[in-house]
Structure 1
Amino acid sequence: MSKDSQGWRKKFGVIGPSTNTIVQPDFDDMRPYGVTNHYRGIFTPDANAVSNESFRAGAETIAGNTLDAVTNVMTCSPDYLVLGMSAVTFFDGGTGADRFQKQVEEHSGLKISFGSHACTAALNTYGGVKRIAVVSPYWPVMNTEVARYFGDMGFSVVRDIPLQCPSWTRIAHIGTPELRDALRKLDGDDVDAIVQVGTNLSMVRLAAAAELWLGKPVIAINTATYWHALRANGIQDKMPGFGRLLEEF
């Protein structure tokens, strides 16, 4: 049976908000030879997220448009789906994440990797992690959902920082200095690992560097999601420059 000439190992169908400009280059940077990523946008108006209420409403819009994007990407006959989205996958704790996974897998007929459960898998792979700190581009109402989810997964969120971005596209404008400051504020002897959520936040390389000077796991959600997709498909390539997760496990 013939295979795709470039995606001869695996073709990943990748979906994420249409406003997201970070997932596609992040995933492509982590792509091993013979694996291809095929990005399709979830229609997402760039509404201002200037309050807890408007942020939640915007995330609900993304959730409501997800299956249309899944239908779109299925036209290229992918082998597996990778969801480059974050907030939606934390709604309603572990039960909500499982429900979301079932909905997408039943609609597509494919297995999927997605942010919340990928971060859990990454934390469990490092081992010995119970207390975590979280940085996000979200508003406080969404960080509450993130903490609820991780609590359901057996972790305690000791501290969190919601960066409260004013719009979906502005998330991608957050740079290394602001994120570095957040990591310093989050770290402490009472924290076993730091997790960054929000897929339009560019932190895959900073997280890798931070592991060296903090001496503990620092997990960027895009790294965790793509790592999970590779390993779920039996692709064990070690990719340097993206932290211990992709280099060791």
Structure 2
Amino acid sequence: MPSTIAKGRKFALVLPSTNTSVEREFAHLRPQDCSWHTGRIMIKAPALDSADAFGAFRECLNEALPSALETVMTCQPEYIVMGMSAETFWGGVQGNAAFEQNVRELTGLEVTTGGHCRG
């Protein structure tokens, strides 16, 4: 959907609902002709104080990711930026590649993650 107020590029910023810093950081980085549109991944198990808790966090994240992407796609962004790190580093290079492929399949857009190695 084209904006009638703001011209420029639209990026989807997708992050866990528990994250309180990435949106603010990205607001400071935003080029003047760009807008960020946030999709929050609902995290129902936010504790990260044990291996089991982290496993529950990852399950919540992976279960809720498609819904967050579906919601943010309604503004028709040009690109997806994942504003999280843990899931994109899980499983090393191959794990991140699989995560990125999943996002591309769900959205039809390219994606940038913290775990992507560019040579």
Corresponding position of 1:44:
43
**How far off is 1:99 after superposition?**
0.8
Cα distance in 2 for partners of 1:16, 1:28 equals 14
- Contact 1:19 1:45 (8 Å CA) reproduced: no
- TM-score of the aligned structures, taking structure 2 as reference length: 0.89
Alignment: residue pair count: 117
Cα distance in 2 for partners of 1:92, 1:46 equals 21
Corresponding position of 2:10:
11
Q: Which amino acid in 1 is paired with 2:16? A: P
- Gapped regions of structure 2 (runs ≥ 5): none
- Render the CA deviation track for 1:112-134: whole Å, top value 9, x for unaligned: 111100xx33xx5xxxxxxxxxx
Q: Which amino acid in 1 is paired with 2:87? A: V
How much identity, in percent, do the aligned residues show? Answer: 34
Cα distance in 2 for partners of 1:76, 1:65 equals 19
Q: Between Structure 1 and Structure 2, which shows a larger proportion of helix residues? A: 1
Corresponding position of 2:56:
57
- TM-score of the aligned structures, taking structure 1 as reference length: 0.45
Distance 1:76 1:83, change over 3 A: same
- Render the CA deviation track for 1:138-185: whole Å, top value 9, x for unaligned: xxxxxxxxxxxxxxxxxxxxxxxxxxxxxxxxxxxxxxxxxxxxxxxx
- Contact 2:12 2:77 (8 Å CA) reproduced: yes
- Render the CA deviation track for 1:209-242: whole Å, top value 9, x for unaligned: xxxxxxxxxxxxxxxxxxxxxxxxxxxxxxxxxx
- Is 1:90 matched up with 2:89? yes
Q: Which amino acid in 2 is paired with 1:63? A: N
**How far off is 1:46 after superposition?**
5.0
Secondary structure of 2:115's aligned partner: helix
Cα distance in 1 for partners of 2:47, 2:97 equals 29
Q: Which has the larger Rg? A: 1
Higher relative contact order (CA 8 A, sep 6+): 2
- Is 1:79 matched up with 2:78? yes
**How far off is 1:61 after superposition?**
1.4
Cα distance in 2 for partners of 1:48, 1:25 equals 22
**How far off is 1:57 after superposition?**
2.1
